[in-house]
Amino acid sequence: MRVAMYYKNSDIRLEKMPKPEIGPGELLVKVVACGICGSDVMEWYRIKKAPLVLGHEIAGDIVEVGEGVTDYKEGDRVFVSHHVPCGECKYCQDDHESCCDTLRTTNFDPGGFSEYVRVPEINVHHGTYLLPEEISYEDGVFIEPLACVVRGQRFAEMEAGKSVLVLGSGIVGLLHIKLARAKSASRIIATDVTNFRMEAARKAGADHAISGKADVPAKVRELNDGKLADIVIVCTGSVPAIRQSMRSVDRGGTILFFAPTDPGVEIPIPFNDLWREEITMVSSYAGCPEDIREAIELLRSGKVNVDDQITHRLGLADTQKGFQLVAEAVDSIKVIIEPWK
């Protein structure tokens, strides 16, 4: 089968490898669509494991069913989660499944930028979901990133009537805007450093989109009736944006750190200010079964619409072009690889 083999962001080669053979309890899935995630292009993180086949936002068809599998059949349309928790450890029991050792070591074989993936038994049990008729394959690639967003906003205690500031309007920032709108946020303000993405933020549902190079706290007060934001969601690893978050959150508010910095970066915090104003700081990583089920329902019901987020659809041979589009972040939002295109 054909795969897009990752060596570095500027070197992704169309290669061939054997189609995976499945064993008892496993599935073989034909990948119809796979999204390129911002984490895929974090070269400092990916290159140490290269060469490898990346891609974890997949939707496709089951084409082979292993012995003993009873919940799925050939022809089923599915989303498959690459990382799955054990459901039994201390972290899973404490609603921190993304800290589970099992979640951090599981994956399907190989990555989604390939024609087929083998779904191990544990992923069959804890990470395979039928796609409702209302969800297309392309929409299905949003299940994983939307699940991450669902988890983050759950941790931040997002609810109706709260004002929200989203720092960074890439795809996860836009999904945060859409989910906050679906949850009836009172006002949503977004930032970015490009006009293209500021306009995308407005189209996604932000009441206001402003330059990240501006005096963001002052602009938030101006646009939010003299108040800072109840919830600030940091969707970029930019150090200036992280600093802005701590000056843009209102008393009693919450900062959600949703994106990593480059390795080794340390951020000083105005501790006394945050302590005196009772600021809550939370982080979230990945999406877990509860979040995935909610993401699927949000897409199925149309409460979160993602069709307008797809800017590029490319074949497997053009995966490197897709990586460049995502890494440059100039005029792309969601780039989808369709291996059979």
* 127 in the same domain as 65: yes
* 334 in the same domain as 263: no
**φ, ψ of residue 99 in degrees (nearest 5):** -95, 0
pLDDT score recorded for residue 15: 98
In degrees, rounded to 5, the angle at the alpha carbon of residue 292 between the alpha carbons of residues 288 and 296 is: 180
173 assigned to some structural domain: yes
* 165 in the same domain as 128: no
* 196 in the same domain as 65: no
* 229 in the same domain as 160: yes
291 assigned to some structural domain: no
289 assigned to some structural domain: no
**Structural domain containing residue 229:** 150-283
* 222 in the same domain as 100: no
User: Using an 8 Å Cβ cutoff, are 237 and 257 in contact?
Assistant: no
115 assigned to some structural domain: yes
* 26 in the same domain as 91: yes
299 assigned to some structural domain: no
296 assigned to some structural domain: no
pLDDT score recorded for residue 244: 97
Is the bond into 51 cis (omega within 30 degrees of 0)?
Answer: yes
Domain containing residue 242: CATH number: 3.40.50.720
* 136 in the same domain as 39: yes
pLDDT score recorded for residue 182: 98
Domain containing residue 103: CATH number: 3.90.180.10
User: Using an 8 Å Cβ cutoff, are 250 and 227 in contact?
Assistant: yes
Token couple for 285: 């990583």
* 123 in the same domain as 23: yes
301 assigned to some structural domain: no
* 131 in the same domain as 35: yes
**φ, ψ of residue 48 in degrees (nearest 5):** -70, -15
- Tally of structural domains, the chain: 2
pLDDT score recorded for residue 43: 92
293 assigned to some structural domain: no
- Could you read off the pLDDT tens digit of each residue along the chain, which spans 341 residues? 999 999 999 999 999 999 999 999 999 999 999 999 999 999 988 999 999 999 999 999 999 999 999 999 999 999 999 999 999 999 999 999 999 999 999 999 999 999 999 999 999 999 999 999 999 999 999 999 999 999 999 999 999 999 999 999 999 999 999 999 999 999 999 999 999 999 999 999 999 999 999 999 999 999 999 999 999 999 999 999 999 999 999 999 999 999 999 999 999 999 999 999 999 999 999 999 999 999 999 999 999 999 999 999 999 999 999 999 999 988 999 999 999 98
Beta strand residue intervals within 145-220, DSSP E: 163-167, 187-192, 208-211
pLDDT score recorded for residue 77: 98
pLDDT score recorded for residue 152: 98
